[in-house]
A = this chain, B = another copy of it.
């Protein structure tokens, strides 16, 4: 059904198999820093207009690959599609981030939550299949979802938050309600990721963007336990191919040991973590993904290259059984000069070949 894969370095690194270079992709690589993305978005009229239209979603997903020799594509979508499909009414105000028309803060709203019919997310699965076809085997396609906890943050707060006051108030006041939200989310996220895999996603990533705002103890109970539930229910194989599963907890460095045991093949790290120490801690349990500070990309290309080398050198020699996927520690900024991204991708490829003694 799909063309054979030409560049499998990303999948191999996820599974801790040898590669000739360290593969790189960038969170939010199809995004506003690219003028061609802004042009397509203008045609689509809005962010959700872009995400829900198969042709536009395919077009923007492939745009960064035309510019840079990235080693993976990631579905163009949003982490909040699942609560939208639950009927909460997602929208994006210009310059303000996501908003939900309905919030989930009280007993009745929590009781009414259900795993949505996956047909309501058909636009996502259609985009996955369309992108996979358009990629034509160039690089693998990554599907993704927000984590149960991260989705719950938005569902309770109704949008972004500085202090997570409402969601944490609910969590500390009515842990029973919080656990019910998280269980529904976990079942929904698992179904969502499995349907993405069936539609053509060759790896999947769980974004626990807000796990790091939790207290020690609360993180394990309210975030990690439900990411683990998701990972236990997501396919590890599809049509004879291993499907690597990535778990990224922003601000989760202190809990690396526990995160590495949650069932993912790859753990994503932000820039606060020392990659060499992280590798020593996780050993052969998981591959690591990360972890350049996206703000490095505002420095001149030579400084970008030096920082890229520092990340690669910090991970250290690419030995059998280890695995490193180069990425940022957070989504790329809309203000990033694209030519700095070109320098980054080039340096990661060339320096990581040098580390392997290859020309």
Contacts and interface: CB of A to CB of B under 8 A. Distances in A.
A163 B332 CA distance: 11
B254 A333 contact: no
Given A172-B295, A295-B164, A298-B169, A215 B303 contact: no
Nearest to A304: B172
**How many residues of A sit at the interface, in one of the four size bands?**
35 or more
Contact of A272 (B214, B275, B296, B333): B214
Interface string A261-297: 0000000000111110000000000000001110110
A335 B165 contact: yes
A342 interface: no
Given A254-B254, A310-B217, A172 B299 contact: yes
Interface in A134-155: none
A298 B173 contact: yes
Contacts of A216: 271-275
A329 B254 CA distance: 15
A37 to B, nearest CB: 19
B219 A272 contact: yes
B298 A172 contact: yes
Nearest to A162: B162
Given A165-B333, A212-B272, A251-B251, A172 B296 contact: yes
Q: Which of A212, A218, A251, A293 has the most CB of B within 10 A?
A: A293
A306 B253 CA distance: 26
Contacts of A32: none
A41 to B, nearest CB: 21
Contact of A293 (B168, B303, B329): B168
A63 interface: no
Interface string A294-328: 01101110010001001000100000000000000
Contacts of A292: 215
Nearest to A219: B272
A334 to B, nearest CB: 10
A172 B307 contact: yes
B272 A215 contact: yes
A226 B271 CA distance: 20
Contact of A169 (B217, B271, B274, B295): B295
Nearest to A211: B272
A307 B168 CA distance: 13
Contacts of A173: 298-300, 303
A254 B307 CA distance: 20
A92 B37 CA distance: 37
A271 B215 contact: yes
A299 B218 CA distance: 14
A122 B173 CA distance: 45
Interface string A153-196: 00000000001110011001100000000000000000000000
A303 B172 contact: yes
B295 A165 contact: yes
Contacts of A253: 253-254
Nearest to A291: B215
Contacts of A215: 271-272, 291-293, 296, 329
10 contacts: A169-B298, A169-B299, A172-B296, A214-B272, A215-B272, A215-B291, A215-B292, A216-B273, A217-B274, A219-B272
